[in-house]
Amino acid sequence: MEIIQEQEKMVSLPRIGDKAPEFKAVTTQGEVNFPHDYQGEWVILFSHPADFTPVCTSEFITFAHLENKFKNANCNLIGLSIDGLYSHIAWLRTIKEKIEFRGMKNIEVKFPLIEDISMEVAKKYGMIQPGESKTKAVRAVFFIDPKGFIRALIYYPLSLGRNFDEIYRALIAMQTADKFSIATPADWYPGDDVIVSPAGSCSVAEERMTNTDGLDCEDWFFCTKKLDKDTVLSDVLKN
């Protein structure tokens, strides 16, 4: 019974809409007080299984290569693994000095990488999945908004490298939904039509089907409208 309870505790996951669990930690960029240090900004907090592993190395090169792109979207990157600070430093130096991936080389990882030998942070965020590994964090991705709330989370197994186009797309889609009070359909990218909230009454449903007013309604509950790419990016991205 104690073993089962411990496993359940280890895989306890924060939920969408929850306040991001707070923690203080040592990182490769100094101490962080999370999420207080990032009020007013988006954060992508992500975990990886271990330093000096090939899939993780490919991901860190890619994240570091894209860091300015995320920064322009008012979003900070923070990594975590259950490794010590000196291991982190040695690994990031090796990445910069020796590793090339898909034409990306001499890549310096400037965003913080959390030391979490105690697994304290990993357990708070449900990054330890005993069915996958009891000693390594899975590839978790948490999207945390400027008010410190968890808005989305994605989990990948140890063997599967992340899709960074999707991570960026999800970030921009959530920011667009916040800004324009809309929803985004399947496979949405900036410039595609967006979804208008379903009608909340019979009269509104009838009006939508008889008065288009810039809406394209397939039926009373499924209406879209144009939202051009320049409008999205000028309002969402930093100048």
Task: Map 129-198 to HEC letters.
Answer: CCCCCCCCECEEEEEECCCCEEEEEEEECCCCCCCHHHHHHHHHHHHHHHHHCCECCCCCCCCCCEEECC
Q: What is the mean pLDDT of residues 5-18?
A: 71
Q: What mean pLDDT is reported for the chain?
A: 91
Q: CATH number of the domain at 181-236, out of 3.30.1020.10, 3.10.20.30, 3.40.50.300, 3.30.450.20?
A: 3.30.1020.10
Edge-to-edge strands of the sheet including 42-47?
30-34, 23-27, 113-115, 75-81, 42-47, 139-144, 150-156
The candidate with the shortest Cα–Cα distance to 132, out of 214, 50, 33, 233, is 50
Confidence of residue 1 (pLDDT cuts 50, 70, 90): very low
pLDDT, tens digit, 9 for 90 and up, residues 170-218: 999 999 999 999 999 999 999 999 999 877 677 777 777 776 678 888 8
Are 52 and 89 in contact by the 8 Å Cβ rule? The answer is no
What percent of the chain lies above the pLDDT cut of 70? Answer: 93
pTM recorded for the entire structure: 0.90
CATH class, domain 2-162, is alpha beta
Greater pLDDT, 233 or 98:
98
Cβ pair 47, 139 in contact under 8 A:
yes
pLDDT at position 4: 46
Q: How confident is the model at residue 163 (pLDDT cuts 50, 70, 90)?
A: very high
Could you tell me where the DSSP H helices lie in 51-113? Answer: 54-71, 85-98
Residue 223 annotated as catalytic: no
pLDDT at 200: 67
Fold match flag (2-162 vs 181-236): no
* Rounded Cα distance, 216 and 223, in Å: 5
Q: What is residue 212's predicted lDDT score, i.e. its pLDDT?
A: 61
- 93 a known binding residue? no
Domains in the chain: boundaries:
2-162, 181-236
According to the model, what pLDDT value does residue 234 have?
87
**Which of 56, 75, 217, 223 is the catalytic position?**
56
Model confidence pLDDT, tens digit, residues 25-81: 999 999 999 999 999 999 999 999 999 999 999 999 999 999 999 999 999 999 999
The two tokens of residue 158 are 């140890």
Per-residue model confidence (pLDDT) at position 206:
73
How far apart, in whole angstroms, are the C-alpha atoms of residue 142 and residue 167? 10
- Nearest one of 10, 72, 99 to 235, comparing CA atoms: 72
